[in-house]
Every structure is written in C-alpha cells, then in structure tokens.
Structure 1
Amino acid sequence: MNITRENIDALNAVVKVNIAKDDYSNKVDKILKDYKKTANIPGFRKGQVPMGMVKKQYGKAVLIEEVNKLLQESLNKYLTEEKLDVLGQPLPRMQSDINWDADDFSFEFELGLTPEFDVELKGKKAITHYTIVADDKMIDEQVERIQKQYGKLISQDVVEADSEITGVFKNEEEGIENTVTLTLDKFKGKATEKKFVGAKVGDVITLKTKGLYEDDHELMHALKVEHDKAHGLEIEVTFEITEINKRELADLDQELFDKLFGEGAVKSVSELKAKIKEDAEKQFVQQSDQKLLNDVTEYLVENTTFDLPSTFLQKWMQQAGETEMSEEQVKEEYEKSEKSLRYQLIESKLMEANDLKIDFEDVKSSAKAMIKTQMAQFGQLNPSEKELDDIAARVLSNQEEVKRISEQVVSQKLLNLYKEKANIKAKELTYDKFVKEVYGDK
C-alpha cells in the first residue's frame, strides 16, 4: 500500500492510492475458501466445489468488494494521520478503464482543503448591544390588558368605540363565512370605526378588505382564508353583528394578584408593575442577545476574508446530491450556501482558538433548564431533579432534539465569547424605540 499526495494549490490536492496484490490477496483467499465450504452449485456436493470454479463464479466480485473496502479504510486512515482538514468528501477521479484482472490497482481522489485564516473579533467599528427597558407606557398598557382579560363582559345595545363585537364575516362567492370577536382599534382607518359606532345587533356592515387592517395577517385570521389569499385581497365582505359587549376592567386587588402570580407573591399595584417590568425585560434580553449574535455573525462573515475551493465544492455538491443537478443549478445552490459555509468555518476556528467545547452534560443541563421553564408556565414551579432527569432523558433520546439543543449551547457559548472579546457598545432604549431603530417601523 502506497499513498501519496500532490498539492495543486493551497485549497486543492490529489491523493493517489496504490494497492498491491499483497494488500488484499489474503482476505480475498479467505473469503473464497469460506464460499467453497458453503457454495451450492449443481453437480457438486456441498463443500466439494473445485476452487477454480468458485474463483470463476465469485472471484471478481469478491476482489472488487475487498479492494474498495481497503481503499476507503486506508484513505480515511491517511486523512486522519496526516491531519488533513477537508471540505465535503474526497471525490474519486473517474476511471473507466480499471483492469480488475491485474494484480495492482491505482486510484486518485480530489480533495478540497480547508483554508488557513485568522479571525479578528475586535473590529474598528463597535457593534451595538441593546439593553431594552419596559417604560411606564408599556407597563400601564400591560396592566390594562390584564384588567380586560380578567374583567367582566357587560352586554350593550349599541356599539361604542371600546366595545367587543361578535359577528360573522361573509362573502358567498369566495366561500367566506367566519365568526369572530373584534375590537375597533384593530382596524386601519377611522372610517371603518365610524361604520360600527352606533350599530346594533342584527345590523349588517359592508367592508372592503383592501386596507381593512394594518397587517394582512389580521385579515387572514378574521376571514379564515389562506395566507397567500389574504395578501392583496380586494373584495367586499359583510359583517353581521350578533353580540355587543363592553369589558368592565377587573379590580387591581389581592384576589387578582394571587390569581396571576400565586398567593402572596404580589401584594400591591406597585409590586404588580415591578413584576411586569421584570418579566418583560427578561424576554427582551433574549431578543437583544439574538440581535447581537446576528450582528456579530454578519460582521465576521463580511470581514473575515479567505478563499474556498469553490470548483471542488460545486463538483462535490453535484455528485453528493440526491437529485441530478445541472451546472447552473449547482452554481446557484453553491451561491446560496456559501455564506453559511463560511460562517461554519469561522465558528469552528473560534471554538478551537478559544477552547470552547460542548459535552453531553452541557446539552443535558440546557435541556433541563428548558423543561423547567416550560413546566413553570403550567404552574409546576418546583419539579424534582428526578422529574427533570426523566423528562430530559426522553427528550434527548431524539437525535433531532439533541442536535437542536447542541446548536443552542454552541450559540450561547459564542454569544458569551462575543460579549467578552468583541468590540461592543451598550445602548439602552425602550422596546418601541428598539423596534423602530432595528426594524424601521413601530
């Protein structure tokens, strides 16, 4: 066995594997001897078939299988021993003229090599890490939502601006008939609100769907139509009022506090507001951290320059794909995945350079924390360690879940690294201002 490598350039190499008769002959002979013992060929008793006939019938197939096994084993061993960091998988160079009657064989494989590069976390331009705070306006709105949610419904004769109106949206031609309860503040324009105010049970109001809601997703739910149909839908619908109610706000008393947070956990309106602020800002941390993770990822991909063996990778994608692709399709697929591949390489480099590793205990701890949070949402605030371990064991028996949680653990470790070593500036602002600054709308 002789394996040699020719480096075409820094990113491409060809490995040549020469296999001699001595490398495979003993294995082939042993398998054929076993075949001789069990071969069932008409005219011969079992175990008495001449070896020449066994070789004639099975010899070439056994030879090809054993040479291919040896080829893969030796190539994998070579890549490991040489510590070659390859992209994709080695691609065999096509050989249509293999002479399987020969004693010695030669095979060639193309390799795409991982590029050498450095990652600079601390760039010149600082990346913003937002601290999102819940302001008084947001807290007061949440208090009012809670009061409405737990308040009493009082029947009304006519629609007022703050009424809850139940009725049926209809359009016979489009097959629309859906019962909903709505409030007038959801509509886009004041003109629609005016159509409702003063209306009574039994009244039918005609509405145009175009511009009815700020968001077409609201229209989708109101009319119970498919997502694609709701976007740009321009028809008339009727709304027949079947019920009109006003919601009397619940009192902010101890009974409500206990219902919301458990007995005695909150004892005053000021404590309620503090609790709402605390819970909201915990959620905002997740959103802020995700934004930072996305921004640093984008920065690293844009500012860490290195070449890739793109020709090799496109050829590998074409051969490894489940469906046949043309060169144009492969090029398009490669362009779509190149950014992701670049970040995977950057991520691996950062993990290695900063000795960031994950093991099963990391994944298990993350799973248990996730389970504990989910249980708390259903009122189970103090699960035992055994309960958490048992549920985690069931979750982690699913390989897809293990993969998903492992990716979350990696992201969290990288996020901690970015906070420590990247060039980051802090900025505090309210949620409304955060949405406007980051997404450009309110």
Structure 2
Amino acid sequence: MNITRENVDALNAVVKVDIAKEDYSDKVEKILSDYRKTANIPGFRKGHVPMGMVKKQYGKAVLVDEVNKLLQDALNKYLTEEKLDVLGQPLPKQQDDIDWNGDGFTFEFELGLAPEFEVNLKSKKPITHYNIIADDKMINEQVERIQKQYGKLVPETEVKKESEITGTFVNDDRDIENKVTLTLDKFKGKATEKKFIGAKVGDSFELKTKGLYEDDHELMHALKLGHDEVHGLDITVTFTISEINKRELADLDQELFDKLFGKDVVKSVTELKAKIKEDAEKQFVQQSDQKLLNDVTEYLVENTKFDLPAEFLTKWMQTAGEKEMDLDQAKEEYEKSEKSLRYQLIEGKLIEENNIKVTMEDIKDHARKMIKAQMAQFGQMNPSDKELDDIAARVLSNQDEARRISEQLISQKLLELYKEKANIKEKELSYEKFVKEVYGDK
C-alpha cells in the first residue's frame, strides 16, 4: 500500500491511496473459506460447496468490504502520523470506473486543512468586566417582596391603589372565562386604574385588551391564552370583582428569619439585608462572567483573521448530516455555521497553546459539587461521600451529561485565561444600571 499527498494550496490537499492485491488477497481468501464451511446452498452438503460458486456469490461483496476497511484504517493512520489538522472528514473523489476484477486499486480523497493563524488576546480597546452590586434600592425592594410574600390578607370593602383584586375575565365570543388575582400597578396607563379605584365586590366593567398591560405575558396569564393568541389581540372583556384584599406586610422578626434561612442563621434586619446582598451578588457574578465570555468570544471572532476552505466545507456539509443537502442548502448552512467554526478553531488553539485540560477527576469533582448543592436545596445538608460518588457515577454514565460538564469546565478555564491575559477593565454598577447599559431599556 502506498499513500501520497498533493497540496492544492494552503487549505486544500488531495490524498492518493494505492492498494495492491497482496494487501487484501489473504484476508479475502480466509473470509471466503470460512463462508464455504458454513454456507447453505441447495444441492450441496454443508462445507462441500465448490469454492468457485462461493466466490461467484460472495466474492465481490467481501472484496469491496475488505478494501473499504483497509482504506479507512490506512487513511486514519496516515492523518494521525502526518499530524494533519483536517476540517470535516476526507471526501472521496467520484470514481465510476473501478475495476473490481483488477489486481489493485487507487482512491483519491479531498482534504480541507485547518488554517495557520495567531490569536491575540490583547484588544486595543479594553473589554468591560462588570462588577454588579446589589444597591440599597434593590435590597429594600427584595425585603418588601419577602414581607408581602409572607404577609397576610385582610379583606377590604373597596378597591384602593395597593389592593389585591380577585375577579373573573369573561368574553363569550372567544370562550374566555378566567379567574385571576391582580394588582393595579401591572396595568398600562392610569385610565384602567381609575376604573378600579373605589369599586366594590360584585362590580363589573368592560376593558379593552389592546394596551391593557405593559407586558403581553401579563395578558396571557389574565386571559389564559397562548402567546400567539394575545399578540395584537383587540377585544372587549368583562371583569367582575369577587374579592378585595389588602396584604399586610409580615413583621421582620426572628420567626420570619428562621423560616427563610433556618434557625438563627440570620438574627437581625441588618443581617437579613447582608444575606440578600450576598446571595444576589453571587448570581450577578455568573451573569457578569457570561457577558465577559460572550464579549471576548465576539472580539476574537471579529479580529482573528484567517481563510477557511469554504468550497470544501460546503461540499462536505452536503453529506455530513443525517439528511443530504443540495448545493444551495449546503451554502446556506455553511454561512450560518461559519462564525461558530471560526470560534471552535480559535478556542482549540487557545486550549492547545495554554495547555488547558479537563481530567476525569475534574469532571467527577464538579458533578459531586453540583449534586451536593442540589441536595442542599431539598434539606439534605450532609450527604455521605458514597452517596455523592454513587449519584455522580449514574450522572456521568450519560455521555451527553459528561460532555456537557466537560465543556462547562473548559469554558470556566478559558474565562480564567481571559481574565488573566485579555485587555479588561473593571466597572462597578448596580444591577439596574447593568441591565440598562447592556440590554437597553427593554
């Protein structure tokens, strides 16, 4: 067997594999001999079928199968030994004139080669890493939400601005009849609020659905309709009040603190606010880090310049998926996936150059921590090592889950690399200001 390579250009090559008769003949003869021993052909005793008949019936199929096995093994070995960094998979060149009766065969494969490039993490313009804090306004709002949640309802005779109103929305034409509890602050504009103020149990009034709420999701809940159904909905509904209550805030006392965090974990309002701040800012770190990861990824894709073997990859995509695509579909798919492919190459280079690795022990340790945190949510604070190991083993027996954890750990290590080596500036701001700056007033 002989394998040669011709480089078409820096990104494309053709590999030629010459297979001689001696490479496969002994194996083919052995398989056919085994077939002869077990073949059941009418008119012949088992094991006494003429070899010529066995070759005529099975010879070509066995030959083709063995040549294909040789071909794949040789090609994979060649790519490994030559340390060729290929994209996609080798594509066999079309051959319509293979003479399977000949004494040897030649096959050609197209290769798409990964480009050579350098990655520079130091952007000219610094990339912002946000330090998001829970300010007093946010903490006080959370304290009030807790007091409302654990407070008690007191009946009222008429609707006031802070009332909780229970009633039923009805529209016979659309078969709507849905009982809800609502507060006036969810409505859009003051006109609807004015209709409710002073109303009593049993009162009914008509409301236009268009512009009733600031958020369509509130209208979905109020009318018990799907998202597509409420989008642009412009009908009249009747709302009839069945209950009016005032929610008295719960006292900020030890009983409430114990209910929220366990006995004596929090002992004062000051400690409550500190705990709320600590818990909120832990969540903000994840959001801030994800934003940094996204921004560095975007910078790297936009500023790391290299060419790709686009024509080869488009051709490869035609047959790579579960369903074959025509050329136009493959071009569209390539355009959609090019950015992702570029980042995979950049990420791979960063991982290699910075010796980033994730071991099986890393994956097991992460799984154990994840499981322990989940168990703590259900009150199981001190699981044994054996319990954690057994559950982790079951989780990691799922290859998709093991791969997901591995990818998560790689992302964490890349994030640490970016924080260390990229041009990053820190910016401290409240969560409210972070949302406005990053996502706009939505």
TM-score range, shorter chain: over 0.9
Matched position secondary structure for 1:281 = helix
Q: Match of 2:57?
A: 57
Distance in 2, matches of 1:232 and 1:381, equals 49
> 1:227 deviation in Å?
1.8
Distance in 1, matches of 2:248 and 2:101, equals 92
Q: Match of 1:246?
A: 246
CA shift in 2, pair 1:301/1:229, >3 Å: same
Distance in 2, matches of 1:44 and 1:440, equals 83
Q: Match of 1:392?
A: 392
Cα deviations by residue, 1:202-221 (Å, 9 ceiling, x for unpaired)? 22232222222222122222
Where does 1:128-207 land on structure 2 (aligned, <5 Å)? 128-207=128-207
Code of the aligned partner of 2:311: T
Cα deviations by residue, 1:112-143 (Å, 9 ceiling, x for unpaired)? 11111111011111000000111111111100
Tell me the TM-score normalised to structure 1 length.
Answer: 0.97
Percent sequence identity is: 79
> 1:407 deviation in Å?
1.6
Q: Match of 1:41?
A: 41
Distance in 1, matches of 2:166 and 2:22, equals 86
1:309 paired with 2:327, answer: no
Q: Match of 1:89?
A: 89
> 1:389 deviation in Å?
1.9
Distance in 2, matches of 1:27 and 1:107, equals 20
Q: Match of 1:325?
A: 325
> 1:386 deviation in Å?
2.4
> 1:322 deviation in Å?
2.3
Distance in 1, matches of 2:80 and 2:293, equals 33
> 1:97 deviation in Å?
1.0
Code of the aligned partner of 1:251: D
Distance in 1, matches of 2:392 and 2:343, equals 30
Cα deviations by residue, 1:27-57 (Å, 9 ceiling, x for unpaired)? 0000011111111122211111111111111
Where does 1:410-429 land on structure 2 (aligned, <5 Å)? 410-429=410-429
Residues 361-370 or 51-60, more deviating: 361-370
> 1:23 deviation in Å?
0.2
Distance in 2, matches of 1:355 and 1:172, equals 67
Matched position secondary structure for 2:325 = coil
> 1:175 deviation in Å?
2.5
Q: Which runs of 5+ in 2 are unaligned?
A: none
Distance in 1, matches of 2:194 and 2:248, equals 22
Matched position secondary structure for 1:432 = helix
> 1:400 deviation in Å?
2.0
Distance in 1, matches of 2:272 and 2:127, equals 35
Residues 3-12 or 319-328, more deviating: 319-328
Distance in 2, matches of 1:324 and 1:170, equals 51
Cα deviations by residue, 1:339-385 (Å, 9 ceiling, x for unpaired)? 11111111111111100011212122222222222223223333332
Q: Which runs of 5+ in 1 are unaligned?
A: none
Residues 188-197 or 308-317, more deviating: 188-197
> 1:403 deviation in Å?
2.0
Q: Match of 2:366?
A: 366
Code of the aligned partner of 1:291: K
Code of the aligned partner of 1:307: D
Report the RMSD for the aligned CA atoms in angstroms. 1.3
> 1:172 deviation in Å?
2.1
Cα deviations by residue, 1:382-408 (Å, 9 ceiling, x for unpaired)? 333222222222221222211222221
Q: Match of 1:336?
A: 336
Code of the aligned partner of 2:122: K
Distance in 2, matches of 1:273 and 1:295, equals 32
1:300 paired with 2:300, answer: yes
Distance in 1, matches of 2:126 and 2:221, equals 42
Code of the aligned partner of 1:130: Y
Q: Match of 1:69?
A: 69
Code of the aligned partner of 1:392: A
Tell me the TM-score normalised to structure 2 length.
Answer: 0.97
Matched position secondary structure for 1:345 = helix
Code of the aligned partner of 1:440: G
Distance in 1, matches of 2:180 and 2:402, equals 41
Residues matched between the structures, number: 442
Code of the aligned partner of 2:118: D
> 1:431 deviation in Å?
0.6
Matched position secondary structure for 1:8 = strand
> 1:435 deviation in Å?
0.5
Distance in 1, matches of 2:160 and 2:386, equals 55
Distance in 1, matches of 2:114 and 2:145, equals 55
Distance in 1, matches of 2:155 and 2:201, equals 11
Code of the aligned partner of 2:5: R
